[in-house]
Structure 1
Amino acid sequence: MNRMVLIVIVVIAVGVIFFLMRNASGMDQSQLKEKIDSGALVVDVRTVAEFNSGHYPNAHNIPVDEVSKRVDEFGDRNQTIIVYCASGGRSGSAKSFLESIGYKQVINAGGLSNMPKP
């Protein structure tokens, strides 16, 4: 019986670790890193003040409330775009908007803390 409890605990722990390594898109940090290394556009949709307090290297700052006015800065609608914010809510909104106007490869990375190490 004790062995079965231990197995269940290990399975749950592995599941929690796996879940925490994933972001809003369902990708883990290594998959995001591959996309970034392959030239994905990284966009921080937080406010200018949040961006200035720290951001992902080479990220572009387009606050979520400016996304619709600055669409031309996202470039080709077929390129991979990774959006992030503080927790994933604003980047989820940006992703939905971009997809609604024809962007095909938009990834919501969630929060800055979900981004891979540079």
Structure 2
Amino acid sequence: MGLLDLLFGNKTKKIQDFTSRDAVILDVRSKAEYNSGAIPGSKHIPLQQVASKISEIKKWNKPVITCCASGMRSGSAAAILKSNGIEAMNGGGWQSLYQKL
């Protein structure tokens, strides 16, 4: 385990754990950003709508990996989901997350 893993946790291992449990990839970018390229099979809910869609997201009954362009919005989305009792993690930027999947 490297120093960065100690400080920040091993995101790749956590992503593998979530995907092994059939996690949903939730892209929280704008519609235009999402339409310009996204992870195949991902769900799209812009960050501004995540809080109002909590009941819908809970019905998925699966862990959620959030992503966006850089990781800032997905971090906010993951925090919103966690505060509402949904198992979630910030997957960061969608392109780097796609490479880890």
Give me the TM-score of the superposition, normalised by structure 1: 0.68
Instruction: Please tell me whether residue 102 in structure 1 is matched to residue 85 in structure 2.
Output: yes
Residue 114 of structure 1 is matched in structure 2 by 96
Contact 1:40-1:79 at 8 Å conserved across structures: yes
- Displacement, 1:114? 2.0
Contact 2:54-2:84 at 8 Å conserved across structures: no
Name the amino acid aligned to 2:30: T
Give me the TM-score of the superposition, normalised by structure 2: 0.78
- Displacement, 1:88? 0.7
Q: Size of the alignment, in residue pairs?
A: 96
- Displacement, 1:71? 1.4
Structure 1 consecutive aligned stretches of length 4 or more whose deviation exceeds 4 Å: none
Work out the percentage of aligned pairs sharing the same amino acid: 33
Residue 80 of structure 1 is matched in structure 2 by 63
Stretches of structure 2 that go unaligned for 5 or more consecutive residues are none
Stretches of structure 1 that go unaligned for 5 or more consecutive residues are 1-14
Q: State how far apart, in whole Å, the 1-side matches of 2:77 and 2:9 are.
A: 13
Contact 1:42-1:83 at 8 Å conserved across structures: yes
Residue 27 of structure 1 is matched in structure 2 by 11
- Displacement, 1:31? 4.7
Residues 25/44 of structure 1: CA separation in 2 closer, same or farther (3 Å cut)? farther
